[in-house]
Amino acid sequence: MPISYDFGKKFNDRYRYSNLLTIDNDGNGGYILVRAYFQGLVLRPKGYFIEHYDKDLNLVDEYNYKLRNKDFIAGFLKNGQLNLLFLEYNYTSSRYEYWVHSSPIIDFNFRPKKLVSIQSEEVRNPVGKNYYNRDFSRGFTTAILFNKEKTGFIISTHHKKGKSNKHLIHLYGTDLSKKWEYDFSESVEEKNYAFENLAISSDLSSAYIIGKAYFKKKRFRVDERKFQYELIKLDGQSSLTQRFDDPGKYSESLYPILTKERLGCTGFYADRRDNRYNGIGFFELDPNTLEVQTKKYSPFSQQFMQDKFGREDDKEIKNLVFKNVEIGSQGEIMFNAEEYFVSESMQSTGMGQRVHVTRYHHNDIVSAKLDASGDMVWVRNINKTEVTQGDGAYASYSSFVKDGNTYFFICTAAENPQLVNNERLIFKQGLSRNRNVFLIALDKEGKMEFEKIIDDKEARLPLMVSMPLKNPSEDNMLFYAKRGTKKQLVKVAFN
């Protein structure tokens, strides 16, 4: 594989229990990381720990921002300022409030600023993060989405009480300037919207939002679908909506593609109403009117079905969530998704008690390439089985596109994947505490190769493989590795 890697020095860490929240470039060749840390006999969030590394992966500064009782939403760097977004409930005024805490990274001194406030009773889990079975009955739901380029974000707030049904959408630049606010309430009279993906015009005037629209009917026929995917265009003054379903073709997991030349959507489709995916769809639209100019449906190839199922007859593909979309130099589209779902069960503690357990499943990788006109060139499946009850940063995968090739990084305790018929690749979770790093490559023709690039004896700390910092201009990726009270950075460069 055409890569090299460097291990930073191992550093001691005072917080054994933490979650990595964000990692970014500091603008001077170094890196900023933010973690939420937990302490106490019963682990509770106590604050946010910020680490500053130089270009040689040396830890040069640390800062403990002691802040409690806030729901962290997102973090990002802009113009030398670290911004942390939080949602909190103000019990005095009975309002949900979005706050941003900002500080220069050369001298940490956070200052809070309120962005959005909305009247509501307090509800459980107001932030929409679950991809499936969204619950709109709680009275208040909210979501925040960034575009791929991290130039801006939207804040969606939907409050229902009695006959009042208010849905507002706010667009901000990542310089924290508010561009506009739009009252989306008229559109939610018949449908509830779970927003999933976002594209924003270069001048930050228009937002293109992919939403999963759930119909509010109380009764559905057996052959009726309860939702449909829509593309919504907002500019602060007006809105346009486009749906994509055709007879026998039902869109799933769409992603907007916005460039200077075009507006498109790609994703998966089902040919029945039972949520089973059957292929890849592509739509070309007029960016001003959202009129669909081109529709293309490509069923999954025989190669893909063999990758995924071998000779099994029970073929079911569902629960695919987008991870990455890249546009090549010739306008070709390369994207990958993961088979992700959540399961819940009751588990015995061995003391005569039963506890509720939530498990997060990160399974197969689906990777596809479309040409510039939206025709499918190839689609491949990488079999993978991972499940976690806690920090998902160590599970899943990350990808990088270079020179038309797509590379996937997987961190697993398994020593070797299974290779069936020299084509079907299967990774299983493994039982060891130590982790190997595998690199899987799909070339321009969709041919698959793999290699163990970092051995568990060399990488003594497991990599948070699903939360890297990608630097396409420098052809490298940065990974954070941590276990217990030890931590380090690992840089992987493409030669």
Give residue 119's domain range.
77-186+217-243
**In this predicted model, what pLDDT tens digit does every residue of 294-332 receive, in sequence order?**
999 999 888 888 888 775 655 678 888 899 999 988 899
CA angle 314, 316, 321 (to 5 degrees): 160
pLDDT over threshold 80, residue 469? yes
| Local confidence band at 422 (pLDDT 50, 70, 90 cut-offs) | low
Number of compact structural domains in the chain: 1
CA 52 to centroid of chain Cα atoms: 24
| SS3 per-residue string spanning the chain | CCEEEEECCCEECCCCCEEEEEEEECCCCCEEEEEEEEECCCCEEEEEEEEEECCCCCEEEEEEECCCCCEEEEEEEECCEEEEEEEEEECCCCEEEEEEEEEECCCCCCEEEEEEEEECCCCCCCECCCCCCCCCCCCEEEEEEECCCCCEEEEEEEEEECCEEEEEEEEEECCCCEEEEEECHHHHCCEEEEEEEEEECCCCCCEEEEEEEEECCCCCCCCCCCEEEEEEEECCCCEEEEECCECCEEEEEEEEEECCCCEEEEEEEECCCCCCCCEEEEEEECCCCCCEEEEEEEECCHHHHHHHHCCCCCCCCCCEEEEEEEECCCCCEEEEEEEEEEEEEEEECCCCCEEEEEEEEEEEEEEEEECCCCCEEEEEEEEECEEECCCHHHCCCEEEEECCEEEEEEEECCCCCEEECCCEEEECCCCCCCCEEEEEEECCCCCEEEEEEECCCCCCCCECCCCCEEEHHHCEEEEEEEECCEEEEEEEEEC
Residue 161's pLDDT is what?
Answer: 85
**In this predicted model, what pLDDT tens digit does every residue of 102-131 receive, in sequence order?**
999 999 999 999 999 999 999 888 887 666
Closest CA to 49 of 72, 73, 66, 68: 66
**In this predicted model, what pLDDT tens digit does every residue of 37-50 receive, in sequence order?**
998 877 888 999 99
| Local confidence band at 78 (pLDDT 50, 70, 90 cut-offs) | very high
322 CB-near residues (< 8 Å, 6+ apart): 197, 253, 255, 267, 335, 336, 337
**In this predicted model, what pLDDT tens digit does every residue of 359-386 receive, in sequence order?**
888 999 999 999 999 999 999 998 888 8
**In this predicted model, what pLDDT tens digit does every residue of 190-216 receive, in sequence order?**
888 999 999 999 999 999 999 999 888
> Would residue 315 count as lying in a domain?
no
With a pLDDT cut of 70, the percent of the chain lying above it is 94
CA 91 to centroid of chain Cα atoms: 31
> Would residue 366 count as lying in a domain?
no
Residue 393's pLDDT is what?
Answer: 87
Residue 131's pLDDT is what?
Answer: 61
Q: What mean pLDDT is predicted for residues 22-36?
A: 94
Residue 112's pLDDT is what?
Answer: 96
Half-sphere exposure at residue 49, Cβ-oriented, CA atoms within 13 angstroms: 16
Residue 319's pLDDT is what?
Answer: 85
One-letter amino acid for residue 380 of the chain? R
Residue 359's pLDDT is what?
Answer: 87
| Local confidence band at 428 (pLDDT 50, 70, 90 cut-offs) | confident
Residue 414's pLDDT is what?
Answer: 75
> Would residue 139 count as lying in a domain?
yes
**In this predicted model, what pLDDT tens digit does every residue of 240-261 receive, in sequence order?**
999 998 888 999 889 999 998 8
> Would residue 128 count as lying in a domain?
yes
> Would residue 351 count as lying in a domain?
no
Residue 309's pLDDT is what?
Answer: 77
pLDDT over threshold 90, residue 83? yes
Residue 346's pLDDT is what?
Answer: 83
> Would residue 453 count as lying in a domain?
no
Long-range contacts of 471-477 (CB under 8 A, 24+ apart): 471/25, 472/400, 475/402, 477/398, 477/400, 477/409
The size of the chain, in residues, is: 495
> Would residue 445 count as lying in a domain?
no
Residue 88's pLDDT is what?
Answer: 94
Mean pLDDT of the chain: 89
Q: What mean pLDDT is predicted for residues 86-98?
A: 95
Residue 433's pLDDT is what?
Answer: 65
Residue 292's pLDDT is what?
Answer: 95
CA angle 358, 361, 367 (to 5 degrees): 155
Residue with tokens 């509501």: 120
* Top-confidence residue, 92 or 356: 92
Residue 303's pLDDT is what?
Answer: 83
| Local confidence band at 218 (pLDDT 50, 70, 90 cut-offs) | low
With a pLDDT cut of 90, the percent of the chain lying above it is 59
Residue 318's pLDDT is what?
Answer: 82
> Would residue 239 count as lying in a domain?
yes
Q: What mean pLDDT is predicted for residues 150-156?
A: 95
Residue 305's pLDDT is what?
Answer: 83
286 CB-near residues (< 8 Å, 6+ apart): 263, 293
